[in-house]
Homo-oligomer: A and B are copies of this chain.
Amino acid sequence: MKTKLFIVDDHYMVIEGIRSMLQDEPSIEWQGYANTAGACLSFLQLHVPDVILMDINLPDMSGLDLCREVLRKYPTVKVIGLSTFNQLSFISKMLDNGASGYLLKNAPKAEILTAIEVVMKRQQYLSLEASEMMKKNGEEEAPTLTRREIEVLQLIAEGYTNVEMSEKLFVSTTTIDTHRKHLLAKFEAKNTASLIRLATKMKFV
């Protein structure tokens, strides 16, 4: 029984690479690829693969959202996240959204095959390098922010003062101050500078 494989990635080179590596594998049935989340969802209306290799960064939708969406509609599909080193902060969120595993884009052929085998057995596959990176970077996990906090955070990063924000958002300056305190607490930052640095690294800004 061949494993039906589909790929979503906006880099032709990556798609070509995987296709070239796996097209002669007897255990794999290459179903095709999509460059965008939209193209992926369209394809799934016609064919449902066993495994989807999915890039974290897509032009029209984040891989996070696409993953959730796909699994909501087609719960039997196994999703394996694809990423490069510097995007590891997203991976745990990807797993939270139901992905069965993740691979780094420098994975050799054997590792890709192993990952597909493992997730087909309904187990989780985590690449070694990546899970090590997770431990290192895992200490600084991105906090959960509310809508308003994200809004304020982004205005702070743009250089707005509390007074300016209060005028822009039609609330009191003390309200902004409260949001600010919550932001500092959630990021465990002692001042605006470290807050913005952390927020930028965690892609909030």
A106 CB contact (under 8 Å) in B10, B21, B196: B10
Question: Other CB < 8 Å A-B pairs besides A12-B17, A16-B18, 11 of them?
Answer: A11-B104, A13-B106, A13-B107, A14-B105, A16-B16, A17-B19, A161-B191, A192-B196, A193-B195, A196-B197, A200-B200
Given A105-B13, A107-B13, does the pair A193, B156 have CB atoms closer than 8 Å?
A: yes
A157 in the interface, Cβ–Cβ < 8 Å?
A: yes
Q: Which residues of B contact A86 (CB under 8 A)?
A: 57
Decide if A157 touches B13 in the complex (CB within 8 Å): no
Is the C-beta of A172 less than 8 angstroms from some C-beta in chain B? no
- CB-nearest residue of chain B to A160: B193
Question: Across the interface, which residues of B come within 8 angstroms of A107, CB to CB?
Answer: 12-13
Counting CB contacts under 8 A, is A147 at the interface? no
Q: Cβ of A12: which chain B residues have Cβ within 8 Å of it?
A: 17, 21, 105-109
Ordered nearest first, which 9 A-B pairs have the shortest CB separation? A20-B20, A159-B194, A17-B17, A16-B17, A13-B17, A11-B105, A196-B196, A200-B200, A157-B197
Main SS class of interface, A: helix
The complex places the Cα of A191 from the Cα of B157 at a distance, in Å, of 9
With contacts A10-B106, A20-B20, A35-B106 known, is A194 near B158, CB below 8 A?
A: yes
Which residues 1-38 of A have a CB within 8 angstroms of B? 10-21, 35
**Closest Cβ–Cβ distance, residue A100 to chain B (whole Å):** 19
Query: Which residue of B is nearest A155, CB measured?
Result: B193
Q: What separation, in Å, do the CA atoms of A12 and B18 have in the docked complex?
A: 9
A-B contact pairs, 11 of them (CB 8 A): A11-B17, A12-B17, A12-B105, A12-B108, A13-B14, A16-B18, A156-B193, A159-B194, A192-B192, A192-B193, A200-B201
From B109, B156, B160, B197, A158 is in contact (CB under 8 Å) with: B197
CB distance from A106 to the nearest CB of B (A): 5
Name the distance in Å between A104's Cβ and chain B's nearest Cβ.
Answer: 8
